[in-house]
Amino acid sequence: MTAHKNDTNPTGVSDFLLNCFVRSPSWQLWLSLPLSLLFLLAMGANAILLITIQMEASLHEPMYYLLSLLSMLDIILCLTVIPNVLAIFWFDLRAIGFPACFLQMYIMNSFLAMESCTFMIMAFDRYIAICHPLRYPSIITDQFVVKAATFILVRNVLITLPIPILSARLHYCGRNVIENCICANMSVSRLSCNDVNVNRLYQFAIGWTLLGSDLFLIFLSYTLILRAVLRLKAEGAVAKALSTCGSHFILILFFSTILLVFILTHVAKRKVSSDVPILLNVLHHVIPAALNPIVYGVRTQEIKQGIKKLLKKGW
């Protein structure tokens, strides 16, 4: 009997099998509970934050619109990755079709790049607020947010599009077991019979170009903010100025620290278990998403008050 053929891949292979934690299978059991709790926390906290910003008129400002955009990106990223991983852990549903795999690959790459770009725009917002406070209302307007959101969308949607296209064009000649919990580009590409250097180089190039340039501009913004803050002479002015960008800085640390650890463990894969980068890759899609709204909710008085009002209405 002839095996079912797939249009994307002219072989007998019609789907991939995601093989999580090959060397540490027990991880699936103990990781499933905290992962599901983090997922529920991320969904609930981001939903509450979005509803609060929508319902509370005092939060209809550019800074909170950018925070809403970050929450929407977090929700989509979580929904793209975590339910699939939990389905593998709980029900052993390891099969994923070619179109679904390449779509997941695309969403992960493009939305992570969008998050990075959003952090960069938020850093610019804090720079203007602290270094040029009198010009802030004329620079950071609703129109600025619309233009920034358009830039975030267009830049990252177009530049990351070749990643799944390059992977989908490869010839998969029999091997279909992905040694990962998700359809990461190189985990999938290395199953093909073709040379994958172009895929590897493109992934590396856009990773450092997009994330590298964003992190450099964020670092530059905070360097200029710190320089301006240290010049303030008024009593309590330094603490007040730093508190306005403290939440944002904490979010950047969450995002960049997990990403940096993931890169370092991936580079040093001979010294650490290959399951460690896989674990970090999964956690990077849920930990920042769960913590981002909590940090802003706890540290920002306006959001805290808005959530209290929302909860009172609910009761």
What pTM was estimated for this model as a whole?
0.89
Per-residue pLDDT of the chain (315 residues; tens, 9 = 90+): 334 444 445 445 678 999 988 777 778 888 999 999 999 999 999 999 999 999 999 899 999 999 999 999 999 999 999 999 999 999 989 999 999 999 999 999 999 999 999 999 999 999 999 889 899 999 999 999 999 999 999 999 999 999 999 999 999 887 899 999 999 998 999 999 899 999 999 998 998 899 889 999 999 999 898 888 888 776 666 776 677 677 888 888 878 877 777 777 766 666 777 788 888 889 889 999 999 898 888 888 889 888 888 888 765
H helices present in 134-286, as ranges: 136-139, 142-160, 162-168, 185-189, 197-206, 212-230, 237-267, 275-283
pLDDT of residue 2: 37
pLDDT at 235: 65
Q: Where are the domains of the chain?
A: 16-308
Q: What is the DSSP string of 39-61?
A: HHHHHHHHHHHHHHHHH-GGG-S
Q: Looking at domain 16-308, which CATH architecture does it have? A: Up-down Bundle (1.20)
Distances (CA, A) of 6 to 9, 12, 104, 189, 203: 5, 7, 18, 17, 25
The confidence score (pLDDT) of residue 312 equals 81
Q: What is the pLDDT of residue 249?
A: 80
Residue type, 117: C
The number of CA neighbours under 13 Å toward the Cβ of 216 is 6
What pLDDT is recorded for position 5?
44
Compute CA distances 142 → 82, 146, 296, 299, whole Å: 33, 6, 21, 24
Euclidean distance between CA atoms 282 and 302, whole angstroms: 32
Q: What are phi and psi of 178, to 5 degrees?
A: -85, 120
Rg (CA), the chain: 22
Secondary structure string (H, E, C) spanning 83-97: HHHHHHHHHCCCEEE
The residue behind tokens 């939440």 is 247
- Cβ-contact 299, 310 below 8 angstroms: no
